[in-house]
Structure 1
Amino acid sequence: MILQLLFVAPNHDSIGSEIPRKFEPPHSDHFYNYQSDFKSFDHFDSRFNRFLSFWNIKGASVAVAKDGKLIYAKGFGLSDVDNNKNVEPYNLFRIASVSKLITATAIMKLVEDGEITLEDKVFGPQGILNMAPYDKYRDKKVEEITVRHLLEHSGGWTTRYGDPLFEQHSLAKRNGYKEPLSSEDIIAIMLKKRLHFRPGEASYYSNLGFVILGKVIEAASGVDYELYVKAKILYPLGIFDMKLAGNYRDTKENLEVNYYEQPGAIKIQDCDGSGELVSKSNGGNNLKALEAAGGWIASSTDLMKLLLAIDGFGFPADILSEKSLETMATPKAIGYSPLGWRTTNRHGYWLRTGSFAGTSCVLKRRPDGISYVILCNTSAWVGPDFPFKMASFTDRELNRINKFPVEDNYQHMPSKYISLKN
């Protein structure tokens, strides 16, 4: 394997020297359904199939770990209904807002490396994003927004007039932009509007805030957001299949599943501006613009590798310090979001969910050493509530298992971990 370090970021030599500009990584470890045919999970398998059938979910992938070991990885249903292809644990799924946990991890890595602080201002003359197109804003309060505000969804935006990441056609039309909109376009448009509240004074879920964090990562590191995440977070963990998603079925990755919506789901105009009516999961939603807020695809086993590296248990070793992980998991006050996680509590349960058309997923860390990842290629009618239903079901069924496998499936695969410093 040849690693060519041909790119040095301006004013960021220490980061640029570690980031490959031309690098062809190997595949992630690929697991197969037959490897998790455990008698102790027979009841779980049966019940999970019934659960998917009840909610009309076409396919799903599940990974379970205990005490830092991957003990179970299995696909259910179909990755491609038309061609009757089964889901395997190596299949890639859109992970929607689980992407926010990846972005938060990258931000904390920059903090630990001394490139930024959580209290750094994002906009304005002294801000991280003090360049075009982010230097034209209407509301002076924008200059108060810090990195922490964006992480905890307190940057000042609500979805009072809709979520700009899912209202791109009307945004483009009203503001004279050509479609498809880029993430830079959307940020520039929203900066021309007034904030809905003063930064830091409330917490309101914001995809826009995390899209901006992607630009913070680029400005602070001097390299592309996706490249930074791969080089500093994913590749060192042996995660090579994760990447940013495309918008269309005919441009999906080789291992990626097809996506499905419930019967009768409405169609919307293609995000490319053609005016053609398409399904939201196949061109309607512009995932390329979602980027750091919801643009990643992953397998359940790769996501589990990441989870085990930021779960605070230390087995295997975490990639962030104990202080950073505590900061991420601890909201500053009641009503505020933790950093990257969807919910956490004082008992040690950390949850991250994701949901949009064609996708439902949940990732959970429990204080008893059990963690799980569930990815679905179908959206349910209950929308963003469905991942919570998956979590409740999975907790209940895992609690019924008396004896878990003890071998670590990760340890039975050839090691492909690399150091980007070599």
Structure 2
Amino acid sequence: MKNIFLPLLCSISFLSFSQIKESAQIDSIFAAWNQLDTPGAALGIVKDGELIYAKGYGSADLEHDLPITPSSVFYIGSVSKQFVTFCILLLEEQGKLDLNDKIQKYLPDFPEYEAPLTIRHFIHHTSGVRDYLTLMDLKGRSYLDNLDVDEVYELIKRQKELNFTPGEKYLYSNSCYFMLAMIVEKVSHEPIRKFAHEHIFSPLGMQNTLFYDDNTDLIKNRVFSYQKKREGEGFDNLIMRFDLVGSGGVYSSIEDLFLWDQNFYHNILGKGGQAIIEKMHQEGVLNNGESAGYAFALNNGTYKGLRTVSHSGSLAGYRAQLLRFPDEKFSVIILANRDDANPTGKSYQVVDILLKDRFKEEPPQKEVSDKKEDETAKEKDMDLASVDVMDYVGNFYSEELDVTYKLYMEDDLLKLKIPNNEPQAMKINAPDTFISNGNRYRFERTDGKVVGFELDAGRVTNLNFEKR
């Protein structure tokens, strides 16, 4: 029987949400979205244990002119990860796992690499395991489509090497959280959707929050996602059949995330008490003893001298930000349904209005983002005629992706064709090195002939292709 989540009957009067004197200033931040013919966002502002301001701007469904409200249910992207880590910590509290356990204890078919991989490595993104969303993209698969759990897991297992030695550095990997959800299910003997509902969402009264692991299920008050048209006015649907959980997968609302936010101050989950909350804020430690800069799916930081805890999320046209100032007992929650939204930036605009009297003179630190890192060098202008371009023409196969790339000449340009994608121009960056779509292709030669290349694509490095 499918789970149908009904709207939360919140006991807080909506009238009380707009009784702050700065409401006009806050509304002006979202003014361009405050109409039914455009997607927008829902905003929640929390102060001293109360949801003091909650409002929707724009349309939840452009086809039916449904407005966004504080009860609207959004996909929250990587903000979901903190629910995964809390599940892991609950299982640790129950004595069912140890954070230092090797991954293979729970997933015995996962390959062994030169150095051990532990649950801690996965939590803090210090494992070096290649990111599956990047791998799928490189394979020519769209994340908007349904991706089978087994297919994704098999793709991760096909990788012959890691991006780096575990613990050597931090590099965001959705594969780790996808597999952490698998571990939760192995240890608890039930889907993470059920475990999280029983141990987190239901006890907190988060009636409209769930791990969405079946894209045929209905979600009441669901908001749909959009992207701005590349040409002309208006928006296009970003229809998403994605239903993998762990790396993301949670749908929630402003009202529900307010309840989650408040549990960080007075934890009622598990055995209760603040020990598990304090652990959530502990950052990973690298092999050299330095901080990895990432806690249990939480980013510790400062803004204008004030301590912050935050995480963002994005997928399709959904964008999310949960930003907390724990010492001020103040939080901003923004959930958006347009791909050009910048909830992180807008959340700090709200902060600038409401916390300006508390600021200290200190520039903001750069926040850790869950967006794809561009680690490629800037493109350099080189004379393509100085190399024999035909050296690079041909078909190149990756066993790890099980995909073939075609390189060919057209209109005096070297072009790359990835299955299911439009051809891309290849621009020379250095001898035997090309850049295309932000990715770096480093060609290898034997006896002067090109025999393959290694691909660096942000969250995936040193991916090998052989010339066929």
TM-score, with structure 1 as normaliser = 0.71
Following TM superposition, by how much is the alpha carbon of 1:223 offset from its aligned partner in structure 2, in angstroms?
0.6
Aligned-partner SS, 2:184: helix
Q: Deviations over 1:367-398 (max 9, x none)?
A: 211112110011117xxxx3331232121122
1:379 lines up with 2:339 in the alignment = yes
Q: Which residue of 2 aligns with 1:405?
A: none
1:37 & 1:110 partners in 2: Cα distance? 40
Q: Deviations over 1:33-82 (max 9, x none)?
A: 5452325242244323236479x972211122212222222111211223
Q: Which residue of 2 aligns with 1:46?
A: 27
Aligned equivalent of 1:82, options 46, 63, 83: 63
Q: Which residue of 1 aligns with 2:75?
A: 94
Closer/same/farther in 2, CA of residues 155 and 171 from structure 1, 3 Å limit: farther
2:134 & 2:179 partners in 1: Cα distance? 14
Closer/same/farther in 2, CA of residues 239 and 321 from structure 1, 3 Å limit: same
Following TM superposition, by how much is the alpha carbon of 1:140 offset from its aligned partner in structure 2, in angstroms?
2.7
Q: Which residue of 2 aligns with 1:186?
A: 152
Q: Which residue of 2 aligns with 1:149?
A: 121
2:202 & 2:222 partners in 1: Cα distance? 19
* Number of aligned residue pairs: 341
Closer/same/farther in 2, CA of residues 115 and 166 from structure 1, 3 Å limit: farther
Would you say the 8 A contact 2:192–2:211 is kept in 1?
Answer: no
Instruction: Identify, as 1 or 2, the structure richer in helix.
Output: 1
Aligned equivalent of 1:362, options 290, 314, 321: 321
**Identity between Structure 1 and Structure 2 (%):** 21
Q: Deviations over 1:279-299 (max 9, x none)?
A: 78313xx5212x111111111
1:57 & 1:362 partners in 2: Cα distance? 20
Q: Deviations over 1:18-45 (max 9, x none)?
A: xxx9998875334675452325242244
Q: Which residue of 2 aligns with 1:399?
A: 355
Closer/same/farther in 2, CA of residues 25 and 157 from structure 1, 3 Å limit: closer
Aligned equivalent of 2:180, options 200, 213, 229: 213
Q: Which amino acid aligns with 1:182?
A: D
Closer/same/farther in 2, CA of residues 73 and 58 from structure 1, 3 Å limit: same
Q: Which residue of 2 aligns with 1:337?
A: 294
Following TM superposition, by how much is the alpha carbon of 1:330 offset from its aligned partner in structure 2, in angstroms?
2.4
Q: Which amino acid aligns with 1:298?
A: S
Q: Deviations over 1:110-133 (max 9, x none)?
A: 11111111111111xxx1122xxx
1:46 & 1:280 partners in 2: Cα distance? 26
1:41 & 1:252 partners in 2: Cα distance? 37
Which residues of 2 match residues 219-238 of structure 1 at below 5 A? 219-238=186-205
Following TM superposition, by how much is the alpha carbon of 1:363 offset from its aligned partner in structure 2, in angstroms?
0.3
Would you say the 8 A contact 2:332–2:347 is kept in 1?
Answer: no
Aligned equivalent of 2:250, options 278, 296, 308: 296
1:40 & 1:168 partners in 2: Cα distance? 52
1:209 & 1:227 partners in 2: Cα distance? 20
Would you say the 8 A contact 1:164–1:186 is kept in 2?
Answer: no
Q: Which residue of 1 aligns with 2:447?
A: none
TM-score, with structure 2 as normaliser = 0.65
Which residues of 2 match residues 21-36 of structure 1 at below 5 A? 27-30=7-10, 33-36=14-17
Q: Which amino acid aligns with 1:109?
A: L
2:280 & 2:38 partners in 1: Cα distance? 32
Aligned equivalent of 1:308, options 258, 262, 271: 262
Larger RCO, structures 1/2 (Cα 8 Å, 6+ apart)? 1
Closer/same/farther in 2, CA of residues 391 and 281 from structure 1, 3 Å limit: same
Aligned equivalent of 1:199, options 166, 188, 205: 166
Would you say the 8 A contact 1:154–1:204 is kept in 2?
Answer: yes
Q: Which residue of 2 aligns with 1:255?
A: 221
Following TM superposition, by how much is the alpha carbon of 1:168 offset from its aligned partner in structure 2, in angstroms?
6.2
Greater Cα radius of gyration, structure 1 or 2: 2
Q: Which residue of 2 aligns with 1:12?
A: none
Aligned-partner SS, 1:325: helix
Q: Which residue of 1 aligns with 2:280?
A: 328
Closer/same/farther in 2, CA of residues 129 and 57 from structure 1, 3 Å limit: farther
1:280 & 1:122 partners in 2: Cα distance? 38
Would you say the 8 A contact 2:4–2:220 is kept in 1?
Answer: no
2:128 & 2:171 partners in 1: Cα distance? 8
Would you say the 8 A contact 1:32–1:89 is kept in 2?
Answer: no
Kindly report the root-mean-square deviation, in angstroms, between the aligned alpha carbons of the 2 structures: 3.3
Instruction: Identify, as 1 or 2, the structure richer in strand.
Output: 2
Q: Which residue of 2 aligns with 1:119?
A: 100
Q: Which runs of 5+ in 1 are unaligned?
A: 1-20, 173-178, 266-278, 403-422
Q: Which amino acid aligns with 1:288?
A: D
Aligned-partner SS, 1:353: strand
Would you say the 8 A contact 1:338–1:344 is kept in 2?
Answer: no
- Name whichever of 56-65 and 182-191 sits farther off: 56-65
Closer/same/farther in 2, CA of residues 111 and 64 from structure 1, 3 Å limit: same
- Name whichever of 367-376 and 386-395 sits farther off: 386-395
2:300 & 2:48 partners in 1: Cα distance? 21
Following TM superposition, by how much is the alpha carbon of 1:187 offset from its aligned partner in structure 2, in angstroms?
1.9
Closer/same/farther in 2, CA of residues 352 and 368 from structure 1, 3 Å limit: same
Which residues of 2 match residues 125-164 of structure 1 at below 5 A? 127-130=105-108, 135=109, 137=111, 139-141=112-114, 144-159=116-131, 163-164=134-135
